[in-house]
Amino acid sequence: MNPTTMLRLMGAKKSFEKNHPKFSAFLKKTLARGVEAGTVIEVTVTRPGEEPVRTNIRVQESDLELIASLRELSEGNGPE
């Protein structure tokens, strides 16, 4: 990954963690032991004045490599 892009992502990550400490802590605690196939991840988006929109995925074996790569990036251990 381009070093400039990596620095920009790390800055955005720090800003996000500062703005949303409870969410960041939730993700770290929940995902610390990893995600296994069969895990359901649900996301709800509620815009002001609108009904919530909700979706979920059931993690498949084929998703695990992508999830591991995303976790490495979030920890700052991504590819150089």
Domain boundaries, the chain: 3-74
> pLDDT of 8-66, one tens digit each?
988 998 999 999 999 989 888 887 788 899 999 999 999 999 999 999 999 999 999 99
Instruction: Give the pLDDT score at 71.
Output: 77
Q: Could you tell me which residue, 17 or 75, shows the higher pLDDT?
A: 17
Sequence-distant (≥ 6) Cβ neighbours of residue 33 within 8 angstroms? none
Q: Model-level pTM greater than 0.75? A: no
Residues in the chain: 80
Does position 79 have pLDDT exceeding 70, yes or no?
no
Residue with tokens 């720090």: 14
CB distance 70 to 9 below 8 Å: no
